[in-house]
Structure 1
Amino acid sequence: MNAVHAFADDEREAVYRAIRERRDMRHFSGGEVAPDLLRRLLEAAHLGPSVGFMQPWRFLRVRDRAMRERLHALVEAERLHTARALGEREDAFMRLKVQGVLDAAEVLVVALADGRERHVFGRRTLPEMDLASAACAIQNLWLAARAEGLGMGWVSLFEPAALAALMQLPNGAAPIAVLCLGPVDAFYDEPMLQRERWARREALAGLVFDEQWGQPSDLFAGAAQ
C-alpha cells in the first residue's frame, strides 16, 4: 500500500527509471539544446539541496569554439598525467574515451562560489559539504537531462588552477566539474567503464552495515545476490 504522500505508480516508476538509466556519457551527436530546455535543466540543478542553504554552485556556459579547444587541451593534458599514474593500466586507460568537450551541444563548467567560508551552518566540522551540495545539484541536472532524452557526462580530468585561470574565476572560487550535455545517438546499456571492463558495480549488500562498520545488514539476509 502506498504511503499517503507517495507519487502515483507511473510517476514513481519514472523517477526510478531515470535513476537506473542515467549514464556518464562520452559520445555525443552534436545538435543543440533549446534555450528553454537548458533553462529547465539548470532550474532542476538549482533546486538541489544544499547544506545551510548556501547554494554554492555556479555554472559557466562555454560556447566559443576556441575556448572549447583550450578546455579540451586541459583535459587531454591531465589524461596523459593520469595514464602515467596508473602504471600497468596506462594503455587500457588511454583507449577509453574520457570526454566530449568538442562534440557535445553544451559544455558547462561548474564551480564552487567564492566567499564560501562565511557559510558555517553545517560546515564547521565538515567544510567539504559545499562540494557535497554542488554534487547534489549536478545529480539533479543529470537525472533531468536523462528524463529529457539528453546525455550528460561529468569530466573531472583537469588541473583546477589551470581551469580556474582559463575561466577567470575570482579568488576563492574553485572548479569541480566540466559537464558535457546534449543529444546522443544512444545511451549505454550499462555504465561505460563497466562495459569496457574497467570496473564493475559493487553488490549493495556488501556496502550496507548494521550498527557498526563491517556488520552485515539484516536487510539482505537471505536475499538473492
Structure 2
Amino acid sequence: MKRTDPSIAWGGSCSGADLTRDKTVLRRQLLGLRKALTGATRDAACESIGRHLLDWQAGSGTATLAVYWPIRGEPDLAAAYRQLVMRGVQLALPIVSGPATPLTFAAWTPGQPMTPDTFGVPVPAAPQRLLMPDAILIPCVGISAQRYRLGYGGGMYDRTLALLRSVPAIGIAFDCARTEFAAAPHDIRLQALITENGIDDSA
C-alpha cells in the first residue's frame, strides 16, 4: 500500500537530475541535493515527515522505537519524537561500539544528558540502558524504488539489520533521495519508507 500526501510541493524536482549510478558519486550528488533544501521548504518537509511517522506508529502499535540524531542535513524529527514520548513510546538511539560491529540501542528521552560518541554524534550519557527495539528508523542518503537504502558507506546499519531481520526497518528521507542503483547482495529491503509525500509500504 502506498499513501501519499500532495500538500508539500517541491520548488524543483530531482527526478530529472543526471545522477550517475556509481555509488560514491551518487552519494555525493544526493547529499548535495539534500543540503540544498533550506528554510521553509526543509521545515515543511520535516513537519510532514513527522506527521507521517506519527501515523505510521499509531497504525503499527510500535512501543519501542529506535530513532536517530540528525546529522549532515538528515530530516529533523525532534517534534515528532516528543509526541511519541507523550504517547508512551520508548525511544532509543543507536550506539556505535566499534568500526566493524553492529549497532546497539540505548534508551533515550528527549532532554536527557547527552555526550558525543567517537564520531561526534550525541548519544545518551552513561550509564546507558540498552534495549531491543520493536522497529528501527533509518535515515537514507538514497532510496531505490525497491526500498533498498544507500547510506554513508560505513555498513553499520547493514550489519545491524543482518542480525535483526525480524525487526522492521523504516527508511526516513526527503523525497529527493529517491533514485536507482544496483543493490548489493548484503543489502536488506526496508519494510517501509516515510518521506514528506507519504508512507510507502507497498509489497
TM-score bracket, normalised by the shorter chain, equals under 0.3
TM-score, structure 1 normalization: 0.25
TM-score, structure 2 normalization: 0.27
Structure with the bigger percentage of helix: 1
Larger radius of gyration: 1
Structure with more relative contact order (C-alpha pairs < 8 Å, separation 6 or more): 1
Structure with the bigger percentage of strand: 2
